[in-house]
Amino acid sequence: MEAVAPKPQVRRFDFRHVVDSERLLGILMLAPAVLFVFLLTGVPFFYAIYLSLNTTIAGRFDYSFVGLQNYIDILQSSLFRRSLANTFIFTIISQVLVLVLAKILALALANQFRGRNLLRFLILLPWAAPIALSTIGWKWMFDSQYSVVNWLLRALHIIGPYDFPQWLGEPHLAMAAVIFVHVWRMLPFATVILLAGMTSIPQDVMDAAAVDGANFWTRLVHILIPLMLPIMSVALLFGVVFTFTDMGVVYVLTRGGPPVNATHVLASWAFQIGIISNDLGQGAAISLFLFPVLLIASIFMLRLASRTDVGV
Amino acid sequence: MSLNRKLATRLLVYGIAIGFALLSAFPFFWMVITAFKANRDLYNPTNNPFLFNEPPTLDHIRLLFFNTPYVRWLGNTSLVGIIVVLITVVLAVPAGYSLARLIGRWGERLAIMIFLAYLIPPTLLFIPLSRVISLLGLQDSLWSLVLVYPSFTVPFCTWLMMGFFKSIPLELEDAALVDGCSRLGALVRIIFPISISGILTTVIFAFTLSTQEFVYALTFISSSAHKTISVGVPTDLIRGDVFYWGSLMAAALLPSVFIALIYNAFLDRFIAGITGGALK
């Protein structure tokens, strides 16, 4: 058949036919995943907005519409404002630290040396381990009496022999502890992303700069960092989203204390109000305060994706 | 570079890498020490905590495995993980292929939208979902987790699979199509078999993501018998004010190391998935 007909026409016909059936096949293969994800994220999201405009408690399915009352109540609560501020403090401080430390660590790991794979595995542990379990480890290390951290500090004479800092018993130290655990957890993730970005920079660019007499800092500031800006933004965006919306660290480490609400974040406060106190309407409203940050992060991701023309 | 400077750089690199590795791994090292330490030794602040001042003991491990629901939690976690993996593979592998090859112009945009769904955190949706779960009569049931976990494993794994399928040379499928295979036939006979390693990555990440999850499990599950390790260990191994630190550390250590090992083996694919085009 192909031998007889003029070639271009056959191809064209085949092509169009294939495209039509392929698009149908494509939609059929994609639809179940899209539908499933939408039903479990899109629908609950709109339901959350509906809940936040009503007064309703768990176990009963009657709603009374209260408009923006839940939001007004929340904003007037000093406990809520505290947790909102904490969320920002935790996220900003920890992400700045993570970016700086990850950059240093990635620069070191970019070198080839013996034992690199073992070290990479050890550095990766905090990211791979379930956060609720590793935070339990930190809770023990920050114990009021048997803290190994304090023991080390005493042994190194950084604190006096009879000092027992209450890491989780004093508001400022507890804040520091939560930030520290977040940094510890996100550092490996940011490092491996930066490392991947670094190895993708063509070596000849770096070599050319070195030949031109650029020293380490010049190369870092003028070549490495500008070239790595997109990948650094990826690491930062993920870091911000994961830290801003996390409640595992606070819930396991301090339960929001000490004594009450000193370290609560938006997510753990929403859990406290929505699930423990059964006020679904207010709980949903608190959770929705996470959304603007997510939205901004998503827009940045999309812009990043369109600039690099392939994907996120 | 002079020899001296080279040596200095080398020392600096080692110093930084080893320093960070110690910091990262220390809590896990500490879990090992604590898990095997006798209580009398553990709770004596004058003892050097790094040494075994009393002979090591298996008491904590014994308590954990025989007197707590830990084994049950391991079972629950694996069961949920396995079913979530199955659902994820069934949904994400075809979706990834469709985005990579079949959808055309729309594929790119749709793919990014799907990927963004992975960023939607459980803490945004756990309150409405808790009501959906109770409407479905699934509260305090492992099925609630089986239902909800694919909402984040599917987007992530679809994205991973799309990247994987894009890396397969087009010629391979074209050859099959020319040989008279239908597109579906080419998929089943040629593409899926050579995609086993990509699918395995999906399996690993769907499993680890569902094992790490904390918020949904904390919200939906209330009875000890139905908990997963992530939630059971931090909530149920503490009785009143009494912390069974030895058992707690053993309980945290085992799954952490297990997951870290499989995770490490697939790290490069994870990075490729997360960073995608930002590297090009």
Residue A221 confidence (pLDDT): 82
Q: Which residue has the higher pLDDT, B12 or B47?
A: B12
Please say if the pLDDT value at position B270 is more than 60. Answer: yes
End-to-end CA distance of chain B: 31
Please say if the pLDDT value at position A15 is more than 60. Answer: no
Please say if the pLDDT value at position A113 is more than 60. Answer: yes
Question: Which residues on B lie below 8 Å from A51 (Cβ)?
Answer: 127-128, 131
Q: What is the mean pLDDT of residues B263-280?
A: 69
Question: Which residues on A lie below 8 Å from B134 (Cβ)?
Answer: 58-59
Please say if the pLDDT value at position A310 is more than 50. Answer: no
Question: Which residues on A lie below 8 Å from B117 (Cβ)?
Answer: 37, 41
Q: What is the mean pLDDT of residues A29-55?
A: 93
Distance CA A180, CA A14 (A): 61
Q: How confident is the model at residue A309 (pLDDT cuts 50, 70, 90)?
A: very low
Distance (Å) from the alpha carbon of A223 to chain B's nearest alpha carbon: 15
Region of poorest pLDDT, from A233-237, B1-5, B107-111: B1-5
Residue B26 confidence (pLDDT): 94
Residue A272 confidence (pLDDT): 93
Residue A17 confidence (pLDDT): 55
Please say if the pLDDT value at position B231 is more than 90. Answer: yes
Cross-strand pairs, B243: B238
Residue A9 confidence (pLDDT): 43
Residue B22's H or E segment, with its range, is: helix B3-35
Q: How many CA atoms lie within 13 A of A51 on its CB side?
A: 32
Tokens 């009393």, located at residue = B54
Question: Which residues on A lie below 8 Å from B174 (Cβ)?
Answer: none
Distance (Å) from the alpha carbon of B59 to chain A's nearest alpha carbon: 18
Q: How confident is the model at residue B183 (pLDDT cuts 50, 70, 90)?
A: confident
Distance (Å) from the alpha carbon of B113 to chain A's nearest alpha carbon: 9
Domain boundary assignment for chain B: 61-276
Residue A1 confidence (pLDDT): 39
Q: Which of A26, A111, A234 sits opposite B98 (nearest CB)?
A: A26
Q: Which of A30, A45, A196 sits opposite B98 (nearest CB)?
A: A30
Q: How confident is the model at residue A18 (pLDDT cuts 50, 70, 90)?
A: low
Other C-beta atoms lying within 10 Å of the C-beta of residue A217? 8
Distance CA B65, CA A173 (A): 35
Q: What is the mean pLDDT of residues B185-210?
A: 86
Please say if the pLDDT value at position A13 is more than 80. Answer: no
Residue B73 confidence (pLDDT): 96
Please say if the pLDDT value at position B99 is more than 50. Answer: yes
Distance CA A194, CA A105 (A): 9
Distance (Å) from the alpha carbon of B275 to chain A's nearest alpha carbon: 6
Residue B110 confidence (pLDDT): 83
Q: In terms of Cα–Cα distance, which of A131, A83, A142 is closest to A268?
A: A83
Please say if the pLDDT value at position A311 is more than 80. Answer: no
Question: Which residues on A lie below 8 Å from B53 (Cβ)?
Answer: none
Alpha-carbon Rg for chain B, nearest whole angstrom, is: 24
Q: Hey, are the CB atoms on A231 and B24 less than 8 Å from each other?
A: no
pTM (2 decimals)? Answer: 0.89
Average pLDDT over all residues of chain A: 85
Q: What is the mean pLDDT of residues A253-275?
A: 90
Residue A7 confidence (pLDDT): 44
- Residues A51-89 have pLDDT tens digits of 999 988 777 777 888 889 999 999 999 999 999 999 999
Question: Which residues on B lie below 8 Å from A130 (Cβ)?
Answer: 211-212, 214, 229-230, 255-256, 259
Q: Which of A36, A133, A280 sits opposite B154 (nearest CB)?
A: A36
Residue A312 confidence (pLDDT): 37
Question: Which residues on A lie below 8 Å from B177 (Cβ)?
Answer: 18
Q: Please classify residue B148 by burial: count the beta carbons closer than 10 Å to its beta carbon, then call 0-12 exposed, 13-18 middle and 19+ buried.
A: buried
Tokens 């994220």, located at residue = A41
3-state secondary structure of A65: strand
Q: Hey, are the CB atoms on A267 and B121 less than 8 Å from each other?
A: yes
Please say if the pLDDT value at position B4 is more than 70. Answer: yes
- Residues B65-87 have pLDDT tens digits of 999 999 999 999 999 999 999 99
Q: How confident is the model at residue A300 (pLDDT cuts 50, 70, 90)?
A: confident
Please say if the pLDDT value at position A3 is more than 60. Answer: no
Backbone torsions φ then ψ of A98, nearest 5 degrees: -60, -45
Copy the structure tokens of residue B235.
Answer: 């909530």
Which of the given ranges, A198-212, A217-231, B244-258, has the highest pLDDT on average?
A: B244-258
- CA A288 → CA A50, A94, B103, B123, distances in Å? 11, 22, 33, 9
Interface residue of B11, B24, B97, B258 to substitute, partner A, most A CBs within 10 Å: B24
Distance CA B44, CA B22 (A): 25
Q: What is the mean pLDDT of residues B173-198?
A: 80
- CA A250 → CA A185, A263, B257, distances in Å? 13, 7, 23
- Residues B45-60 have pLDDT tens digits of 778 888 888 889 999 9
Residue A20 confidence (pLDDT): 63
Please say if the pLDDT value at position A164 is more than 50. Answer: yes
Residue A307 confidence (pLDDT): 65
Question: Which residues on A lie below 8 Å from B21 (Cβ)?
Answer: 119, 122-123
Interface residue of A7, A98, A140, A216 to substitute, partner B, most B CBs within 10 Å: A140
Q: Hey, are the CB atoms on B212 and A131 less than 8 Å from each other?
A: yes
Region of poorest pLDDT, from A98-102, A224-228, B207-211: A224-228
* Superfamily, domain B61-276: MetI-like (1.10.3720.10)
Distance (Å) from the alpha carbon of B256 to chain A's nearest alpha carbon: 4
Interface residue of A16, A30, A117, A291 to substitute, partner B, most B CBs within 10 Å: A30
